[in-house]
Homo-oligomer: A and B are copies of this chain.
Amino acid sequence: MVRKMQTRTLVTRAKLLQVAQALVADGGYGALRVDEVVKEAGVAKGTFFAHFRDKDALMDHLIGGQIDLLIDQATVHPAPNNVDDLVTCLTPLMVFMTSERYVFDIILRHSGAAAKDEIGAIAQTFARQVNLMSDWVAGGPFRTDVPARLLADGIQAFLIHCIGLQFCAAHQGAPMDQRLRHFLDAWLSPIARSP
């Protein structure tokens, strides 16, 4: 028999999320400890794992939510009509993704879900992001010889690549946004090349 969800379930879950967000607010994502969350929330450890598959699932929720907010803002922006504008539109996302190495690791690990039924918040934001960028490149003065969707996928690949290089000692000559601009100039430019 199926019983309806109890009120306390929602209350407990909300309490866990609220406490987790507060702990992240002062200390960052990397310093978050499950033990501390349950202590502050006043529940047992097992309860946490009844609400979240594992710690990563909580992180996926928190970080995914944050990315969603940033994409909301990007959606409001007018569509960029050159590479510079495009990079500007993506900057808030880049800033957040580079805020902590741990955050970037979580994002990488959750950017693609291994099973259809476990596609989480971050994976969904990646899909949103590609859709948005696909609209952008379709409307702007960019190359049209390949599908906008492929261009958008490529932008995402370059974005992740540049963020990764940001954490790399060997590549810290140029700032991240400038490096991204180089890639996007070469990737999106409609100017004819010499054969």
Contacts and interface: CB of A to CB of B under 8 A. Distances in A.
Interface stretch (A12-20, A30-38, A106-114): A106-114
A160 B167 CA distance: 16
Contact of A186 (B150, B158, B183): B150
Contacts of A168: 111-114, 123
A167 B127 CA distance: 15
A45 interface: no
Interface string A177-194: 000001100110011111
Interface stretch (A1-9, A66-74, A85-93, A141-149): A141-149
A193 B195 contact: no
A116 interface: yes
Contact of A182 (B118, B150, B170): B150
Interface in A135-185: 143-146, 150-151, 153-154, 156-158, 160-161, 164-165, 167-171, 182-183
Contacts of A44: none
Contacts of A158: 154, 157
B186 A146 contact: yes
Contacts of A187: 154, 187
Nearest to A144: B194
Given A154-B186, A157-B161, 13 more contacts: A101-B114, A111-B164, A112-B165, A112-B167, A118-B169, A119-B170, A143-B193, A144-B193, A144-B194, A146-B186, A154-B187, A156-B161, A157-B160
